[in-house]
Amino acid sequence: MPQAAAQPLSQAQEPPQMAQQQQQQWMQMPQSVPGCPPGLEYLTQLDQLLVHQQVELFEALTNIETKNRFVLKNALGQQCYYAYEESELCMRICCGPGRGFIMHVVDNAGREVLRMTREFKCCAGCCWCANTDHCAFNITVESGGTHLGTIKQAQSCWIPNYHILDETNKEIFKIEGPCCICQGACCTCDFPFHIKTADGAESVIGSVTKQWSGLGKEMFTDATNFSVTFPKDLDVKMKAVLLGATFLIDIMFFEKNNN
C-alpha cells in the first residue's frame, strides 16, 4: 500500500495541476448541511457527476503509466472537485491496472474531502473467483478519517458485478455492468454500469457510464470520461461511495490503452 495511507487527511499534498484547475469555473459552495461530512456539501445538490480524466502527454508519448488525475464537474460543466492518484512508479509499471493506489479528492481550496484506497492484491480481478476477499478488488472510501463505505467486486460468470456497502458493511446497492466492453477507438458506444437496489427488487436508481471521449483521446490515450447519476436526495455518503465505484470500474476495464 502507498505510504500516504498513514498520513493524516489534512496533510494530503496538493498536486501542481491544482493551480491550473483554479482557473476553471467552480461550482458555488453551498452552505453547511447538518450531518454532512465537511467538504461534501456539493454532493447534496447534485444528481449527476461528470468525471473527466486529464490527458497525460508524457504517458501518451512514452506509454509509461503516470498517476491518474480527474476533474469532477456538475451537469453545467462547473467544477466541484479535483481527484488525483497516489501510487508508486514501480507498481504502476509492473502491476498496471492491478496496482494499489490512493485517490485523493480535494475541493476548490485544495482541502482533501475524500480518500479512496485500494490495496494491492496479487491474484485479484477474475470475476469467477471474486467470492473470496483475496480474489476480489475493493475500494474503501473515507472522509476526515471516518469510514463511509466500500465497493467490492462480486463473483459472476461474465457480467461485471459490484457490491456497494455502507459504513456498517451492509449492502445498499449493486452495480451490474454490460456483457461486452469494447475498448477500441473505433467504438463510439457508451458503456453503462447500472446501479440497482439490493433489496430484492433490483430497481435501477442510476448508473456509472463510460462515455465516448472523442477519436483523438480514445485512440492515443487511456484517459476516460464518465457520467455518474443517482437520486438527488440520496444520502451524501452513498453518493461519495458511488464516486469511488467509478474509479474502480475505470482502472479495471478502461485503464489499459491497447489501440
For residue range 64-108, what is the model confidence (pLDDT) as tens digits? 778 999 999 999 999 999 999 999 999 988 888 889 999 999 998
**Residues linked to residue 151 through DSSP beta bridges, in sequence order:** 139, 164
Q: Are the C-beta atoms of 223 and 217 separated by less than 8 Å?
A: yes
CATH superfamily of 3-27+46-253: LURP1-related (2.40.160.200)
Instruction: Dig out the grid coordinates for 32 from the structure.
Output: 453547511
CA of residue 95 relative to chain centroid, distance: 19
**Count of positions (residues) in the chain:** 259
pLDDT at position 163: 95
Instruction: Dig out the grid coordinates for 29 from the structure.
Output: 459552495
Residues of the chain with pLDDT under 70: 1-24, 58-60, 182-188, 213-222, 256-259
Q: What residue spans of the chain are helical by DSSP H?
A: 17-21, 57-62, 89-95, 215-220, 236-253
Q: Are the C-beta atoms of 135 and 157 separated by less than 8 Å?
A: no
pLDDT at position 16: 47
d(CA 247, CA 79): 18
pTM for this entry: 0.84
Residue 173 has phi, psi (to 5 degrees) of -130, 165
pLDDT at position 215: 62
d(CA 34, CA 37): 9
Half-sphere exposure of 136 (CA within 13 A, CB side): 20
With 0-12 CB in 10 A as exposed, 13-18 as middle and 19+ as buried, what is 155? middle
Sign of CA dihedral 150, 124, 70, 8: positive
Residue 55 has phi, psi (to 5 degrees) of -75, 130
pLDDT at position 189: 77
| DSSP SS3 for 41 | helix
Strands 138-143 and 112-118: antiparallel
Could you tell me if residue 249 is left (phi over 0), alpha (psi between -120 and 50 degrees) or otherwise beta?
alpha
pLDDT at position 228: 97
